[in-house]
Structure 1
Amino acid sequence: MKIISNMSVSKQLLNTVDLFSGCGGLSLGFQNAGFNILAAYDNWRLALDVYQRNFDHNAHVFDLSDIQASVEHVKEYNPNVIIGGPPCQDFSIAGKRIEKDRANLTVAFAEIVASVSPDIMVMENVYSIERSKSLGIAKSVLSDAGYGLTSRVIDASRTGVPQMRKRFFLVAAKGFKDDDFGAYLDQGLTERRMTVAEYFGDEIEVEFYYAHPRSYKRRAIFSVHEPSATIRRVNRPIPANYVRHPADKADVGDCVRVLTTEERSRIQTFPKEFIFEGSMSQREHLIANAVPVKMAQYVAEKVLAHWIS
Structure 2
Amino acid sequence: METVDLFSGCGGLSLGFQNAGFEILAAFDKWEPAVKVYRDNFNHPIYDTDLGSEEGLEFVKSLKPQMIIGGPPCQDFSSAGKRDETLGRADLTISYANIVASAKPEWFVMENVERITKSHILKEALQIFKKAGYGISYQVLDASFCGVPQSRKRFFLVGHKHSTDNFLNPYFNKNLSSKQMTLFDYFGKSLGVEYYYRHPRSYARRGIFSIYEPSPTIRGVNRPIPKGYSKHEGDPVEISDKVRPLTTKERSLIQTFPEDFIFNGSKTDLEQIIGNAVPVKLGEYVANCIKEYISDRQENKQITVGQLELTYDE
TM-score of the superposition, structure 1-length normalised?
A: 0.94
Q: 2:5 aligns with which of 11, 14, 18?
A: 18
Counterpart check, 1:30 vs 2:13: no
Alpha-carbon shift at residue 249 of structure 1 (Å): 1.3
SS of the residue 1:143 aligns to:
helix
* CA distance in structure 2 between the partners assigned to 1:34 and 1:244 by the alignment: 46
Q: Tell whether the 8 Å contact from 1:185 to 1:303 is kept in structure 2 after alignment.
A: no
Which residue is equivalent to 2:130?
143
Q: 2:105 aligns with which of 84, 108, 118?
A: 118
Q: Tell whether the 8 Å contact from 2:106 to 2:161 is kept in structure 1 after alignment.
A: yes
Which residue is equivalent to 1:49?
36
Alpha-carbon shift at residue 70 of structure 1 (Å): 2.1
- Post-superposition Cα deviations, 1:112-142, rounded to whole Å, max 9, x if no partner, equal 0010000000000000000111111001000
Q: 2:274 aligns with which of 277, 284, 287?
A: 287
2:65 maps to a residue whose letter is P
Which residue is equivalent to 2:303?
none
Specify every segment of 5 or more residues in structure 2 that has no aligned partner in the other structure, as ranges: 297-314
SS of the residue 2:138 aligns to:
strand
Which residue is equivalent to 1:215?
202
| Count of residue pairs brought into register by the alignment | 295
Alpha-carbon shift at residue 234 of structure 1 (Å): 1.3
SS of the residue 2:76 aligns to:
helix
Q: Tell whether the 8 Å contact from 1:124 to 1:167 is kept in structure 2 after alignment.
A: yes
* CA distance in structure 2 between the partners assigned to 1:65 and 1:75 by the alignment: 13
SS of the residue 1:18 aligns to:
strand
Counterpart check, 1:89 vs 2:75: yes
Alpha-carbon shift at residue 197 of structure 1 (Å): 1.1
SS of the residue 1:122 aligns to:
strand
Alpha-carbon shift at residue 202 of structure 1 (Å): 3.5
Q: Tell whether the 8 Å contact from 2:75 to 2:82 is kept in structure 1 after alignment.
A: no
- Post-superposition Cα deviations, 1:163-195, rounded to whole Å, max 9, x if no partner, equal 000000000111101101110111111121000
Counterpart check, 1:179 vs 2:172: no
Matches within 5 A, 1:46-85: 46-66=33-53, 68-85=54-71
1:264 maps to a residue whose letter is R
Alpha-carbon shift at residue 308 of structure 1 (Å): 3.4
Alpha-carbon shift at residue 307 of structure 1 (Å): 2.4
Alpha-carbon shift at residue 203 of structure 1 (Å): 1.5
SS of the residue 2:52 aligns to:
coil
Counterpart check, 1:133 vs 2:133: no
Alpha-carbon shift at residue 293 of structure 1 (Å): 0.2
Alpha-carbon shift at residue 248 of structure 1 (Å): 0.5
Alpha-carbon shift at residue 240 of structure 1 (Å): 1.3
SS of the residue 1:91 aligns to:
coil
Counterpart check, 1:245 vs 2:232: yes
* CA distance in structure 2 between the partners assigned to 1:80 and 1:95 by the alignment: 33
Identity across aligned pairs (percent)? 54
Q: 1:196 aligns with which of 183, 191, 197?
A: 183
* CA distance in structure 2 between the partners assigned to 1:128 and 1:60 by the alignment: 28
* CA distance in structure 2 between the partners assigned to 1:23 and 1:96 by the alignment: 23
* CA distance in structure 1 between the partners assigned to 2:269 and 2:56 by the alignment: 27
* CA distance in structure 1 between the partners assigned to 2:58 and 2:135 by the alignment: 24
* CA distance in structure 2 between the partners assigned to 1:230 and 1:26 by the alignment: 17
Q: Tell whether the 8 Å contact from 2:7 to 2:73 is kept in structure 1 after alignment.
A: yes
* CA distance in structure 1 between the partners assigned to 2:236 and 2:25 by the alignment: 45
Which residue is equivalent to 1:7?
none
Counterpart check, 1:259 vs 2:246: yes
* CA distance in structure 2 between the partners assigned to 1:143 and 1:221 by the alignment: 45
Alpha-carbon shift at residue 96 of structure 1 (Å): 3.9
* CA distance in structure 2 between the partners assigned to 1:111 and 1:59 by the alignment: 20
Root-mean-square deviation (CA), in Å?
0.9
- Post-superposition Cα deviations, 1:26-80, rounded to whole Å, max 9, x if no partner, equal 00000000000000001111111110000000100000011x2123211222110
Q: Tell whether the 8 Å contact from 2:61 to 2:99 is kept in structure 1 after alignment.
A: no
